[in-house]
Amino acid sequence: MTQAMGLRRLGRHQCIGLWVLCGSLSCGFGGGISLPQDPVSVPSCGEARCDSEIAYTTPLRVTQIDEIVGYTITLCHREVCASGAFWRVLDTSEFGVRFVGPIQASARLRSATSPPSLDYVLSVVFEGPGEDYQPGDRFSIRVIETKSGATKVDFAATVQSYREERPNGEACPPLCRAASLS
């Protein structure tokens, strides 16, 4: 049987499918691979890193140093919130909380004086990729004395703009954003 007779037996639809299959295998005129007219340039990015930091600091007066372990802090970025309890940093008068998950942040309570007194400074830093932070973001910070329910800090602010940094150049990651909440 000749090839022509074999093609006639395939039928019209099967022959068209065979032509599409064979025709799609060609890569350009004459079967070659076509290249773009201008060479494509890929930016050379470095390995520098930076951290986004949205910071808040405020004085905080305590009644007793030992009550700090009973404080609960709640941080919110937009509508996402996380809560945690302060823990004492070994053999110091400093206390801390670390948030990992939907909110990446840390909080510290440090004595404002040396030797330690009842005057502390609360420092909160929201961290994470710069793309997580956009103009118009709302942040809130609330510290409650768990035993009495007394509010020690109740703060909220909207950030209108950030300082931006791209340590590897404009076209390269990472993008880091920073702001001070006040």
pLDDT tens for residues 51-73?
A: 899 999 999 999 888 899 999 99
Instruction: Give the Å distances, CA to CA, from 148 to 64, 143, 145, 168.
Output: 13, 12, 6, 50
Q: Is the pTM of this model over 0.85?
A: no
Token pair 């032509």 in the structure block, residue: 19
Neighbours of 57 (CB within 10 A): 13
Angle separating helix axes 12-24 and 3-10, nearest 10 degrees: 110
Q: Is 160 helix (H, G, I), strand (E, B) or coil?
A: coil
In this model, does residue 8 exceed pLDDT 50?
no
- Spatial separation of the C-alpha atoms in residues 109 and 132, rounded to whole Å: 26
DSSP H or E run through 8: helix 3-10
Closest CA relative to residue 68, chosen from 2, 128, 122: 122
pLDDT band per the 50, 70, 90 thresholds, residue 100? confident
Residue by residue, DSSP assigns 25-62 as T--SGGGPPP--SS--------------EEEEEEEEE-
Contact 110, 61 (CB under 8 A): no
In this prediction, residue 43 carries a pLDDT of 66
Of 54-58, 60-64, 106-110, 174-178, the one with minimum mean pLDDT is: 60-64
